[in-house]
Amino acid sequence: MPDLGLEVLFKGKNFIRLLGGLATALEISLISVAISIVFGLVVGILMSFKNPIVRALTRCYLEVIRIMPQLVLLFIVFFGSTKALGINISGTVSAVIVFSLWGSAEMGDLVRGALESVAKHQYESAGALGLNRIDTYRYVVIPQAVRRLIPQSINLITRMIKTTSLVLMIGVVEVLKVAQQIIEANRMSSPNAAFGVYLIVFVLYFIACRPLSIFSEKLEAKWR
């Protein structure tokens, strides 16, 4: 068995610190996810409007966010806010802002797609049965849209959790940053610690994301 330098995790509070880093990562992603779901619904409904101005604006928003690497967005918000606006916001808050902007755009596009994927004839056949507009949405359109939405949005949530690994670049001490610190601090005593610690980081991300994937697979099988 090669030396993975795993012993560094048992030094002092290292393992607890690593878990603390994961908590920070999850905190940023889950707050952003909550915000994204709310705003994503609004953006998605706006995107399905026929009004050309509303469409153009939401389209621009989505494209800009999609084209821009998340890291660039993080730099713009974190450094730009200080430079341009003269306000000082913490790395964590910047991260939540960026992830919410990104999540709302992507979630919006998913909501739009789900609403559009319900065929026009479904509205008509509900109407032909005498269902009014509200009942048509309540019993026919939304249940179908949600079924299409959930697997895709869980995929998005997993991506958001993983992408929090970037926020160490704006000074937020999340799980990857803690891992680096532990490795650096033990460079002399355990030169191989990089292997072991990053392996543990991998396991932690896996534990955080895998239940979501399982949940999504279960739902997909149930609603197939």
Partner 1 sequence: MSEAILEIEHLIKKYDELTVINDLSLSVKKGEVIVIVGSSGCGKSTLLRCLNGLEDIQGGSIKLNGEPVLKASKNISEIRRKIGMVFQSYELFPHMNVLDNILLAPVKVLNRKKEEVKDEAMTLLKRVGLDNKALAYPRQLSGGQKQRIAIVRALIMHPEVLLFDEVTAALDPEMVREVLEVILDLADEGKTMLIVTHEMQFAKAVADRIILLEEGKIWEEGTPEEFFNNPKTERSKEFLRSFTYKRKETVNEYADL
- Which residues contribute to the site for partner 1 (CB under 8 A)? 119, 121-122, 124-132, 135, 139-140, 143-144, 147, 223
Residue 13 vs 133, nearer CB to partner 1: 133
List of residues 6+ apart from 142 with CB closer than 8 A:
none
Residue 62 vs 126, nearer CB to partner 1: 126
Residue 20 vs 127, nearer CB to partner 1: 127
> For 142, what's the count of Cα atoms within 13 Å in the CB-facing half-sphere?
9
Closest distance to partner 1 from the beta carbon of 107 (Å): 21
Helix and strand totals (H; E) in the chain: 9, 0
Closest distance to partner 1 from the beta carbon of 115 (Å): 15
Closest distance to partner 1 from the beta carbon of 127 (Å): 6
Where is 163: in which H helix or E strand?
helix 142-163
Residue 12 vs 143, nearer CB to partner 1: 143
Please list, residue by residue across 150-180, b when 16 or more beta carbons sit within 10 angstroms of its beta carbon and e when fewer do: bbbbbebbbebbebbbbbbebebbbbbbbbb
CA separation for the pair 141, 123 (Å, rounded) = 7
Closest distance to partner 1 from the beta carbon of 67 (Å): 35
